[in-house]
Amino acid sequence: MPSPRVPRVPVEERLFSLVLALLATETGLTKTEILSTVQGYRQRWSSDDNAALERQFERDKDDIRELGVPLETIEEPGSSGNNQNLRYRIPRGAYELPDDISFSSEETALLTLAAMVWREGTLSGESRRALLKLRSLGGTAPVPELDYVPRIRSRDDAFDPLRTALDRSVVVRFAYLKPGEQAPRPRRVLPYALVQFQGRWMCSAIDQESGGRRTFLLSRIVGAVSLTAEVVERPADATAERALADLEELWEKQTAVVLVDPASDAETRLLKRRGTTRSDDGALTVHWSDRHLLADELASFGPEVEVRSPETIRALVRGRLETLVTDHEGSPRG
């Protein structure tokens, strides 16, 4: 007769139960006590073989430490070196909020909502850390107005592995397809910042072949990002603040002058862009950090926009419009 199916416990629930159990003990719990009693482990506990469950526990320990939980290991007196007698606990004083910080039930609910919004998105690691902390500190107060919870899913699969590479200071490899190139080129870089600029995620990194600093648009990374075993110390000035400052400086000095049809969608949208100015003759000066992204945007307005300068942007927009015309002329008519 087949053994009954063990109900699956979500990983978030298992980690949450583990944190609560380790917070509730002052003397600590042994591995056997944890695996035989804590939700998510006890369902699979056996009096015979628990090797797979023990490996799961080892991974979970690493996960909650990465989430910022101060997990302590205590050796039993006289049992040095015996891993089976090790005791685990989370000291409340190192994990609880400071005494001068507290949240109302509504504030806690809003913080929980903010984390839940991103739980499937690009900030999934940070959201898991926030949700785990809020829940273990009692952050479960319901607010009826928050019954609808939006979710934001990242379209950039490269974010999570790059975030991991940042945490470990390791070199990564990926294929990168620049606009205008026929095939992606392999890259080997040390990431030092993941930043969002002008609504797009970018990775600032040090090229391991040339030593130069490069910025990569995550949406242009093709295929998987591979983490290597190469650990490299980042320069002191290789920070997210420096990356954003460099992008801002580039955006500030690069401009394009365009003519737009009055009262058109192009005029409305381009005037709302940060930093856009209008000259006496009605032309708009817009800032940009990536010429191909700007060309895509301007070409989307069709005949409502005419690029006056620089010629590089003018040529890119013209090329996109010519391609559009060619594609439509070659398509069958219905």
Query: Quick one: pLDDT at residue 330?
Result: 59
Task: Return the number of other C-beta atoms located less than 10 Å from residue 301's C-beta.
Answer: 19
Residue 31 sits at the vertex; the CA angle it makes with 26 and 34, to the nearest 5 degrees, is: 70
Q: What residue spans of 177-302 are helical by DSSP H? A: 240-253, 265-272, 291-299
Could you report how far apart the first and last alpha carbons of the chain are, in Å?
63
3-state class of 104 per DSSP?
A: coil
Please state which of the four CATH numbers 1.10.357, 1.10.10, 1.10.238, 1.10.3470 is assigned to the domain occupying 11-95. Answer: 1.10.10
Query: Quick one: pLDDT at residue 176?
Result: 96
Q: Which residue has the tokens 């952050």?
A: 139
Tell me if 45 sits within 8 A of 36, measured CB to CB: yes
Residue spans of the domains in the chain: they are 11-95, 105-146, 159-241, 254-330
Q: Report which DSSP code applies to 264.
A: S
- Average pLDDT for 38-62: 85
Query: Quick one: pLDDT at residue 42?
Result: 85
Tell me if 285 sits within 8 A of 255, measured CB to CB: yes
- C-alpha 191/C-alpha 158 separation (Å) is 12
Tell me if 122 sits within 8 A of 201, measured CB to CB: yes
Kindly report the pTM of this predicted structure: 0.55
* pLDDT one-digit tens code per residue, 145-201: 344 344 444 457 898 899 889 888 999 999 999 888 889 999 999 999 988 888 788
Query: Quick one: pLDDT at residue 79?
Result: 59
pLDDT at 45 over 90: no
**Reported confidence tier of residue 123, pLDDT bands at 50, 70, 90:** very low
259: left (phi over 0), alpha (psi -120 to 50) or beta: beta
Query: Quick one: pLDDT at residue 228?
Result: 94
Say if residue 122 is exposed, middle or buried (CB neighbours under 10 Å; 0-12, 13-18, 19+).
Answer: buried
Topology of domain 159-241, CATH: SH3 type barrels. (2.30.30)
* pLDDT one-digit tens code per residue, 79-115: 565 666 789 988 877 766 666 666 666 666 655 555 5
Q: Which of 91, 21, 11 is nearest to 35 (CA)?
A: 21
Q: Which residue has the higher pLDDT, 310 or 82?
A: 310
pLDDT at 2 over 50: no
- In a 13 Å sphere around the CA of 245, the CA atoms on its Cβ side amount to 6
| Amino acid found at 105 | S
Residue 10 sits at the vertex; the CA angle it makes with 9 and 11, to the nearest 5 degrees, is: 115
Helix (H) or strand (E) holding 229: strand 221-231
For 122-191, the DSSP string reads: TTHHHHHHHHHHHHHTT-----GGG--------S-TTHHHHHHHHHHTEEEEEEE--TT-SS-EEEEEEE
Tell me if 204 sits within 8 A of 243, measured CB to CB: yes
Describe the strand order of the beta sheet including 170-176 as a list of residue ranges: 213-217, 200-207, 185-197, 170-176, 221-231
As given in the structure block, the two tokens for residue 22 are 């380790």
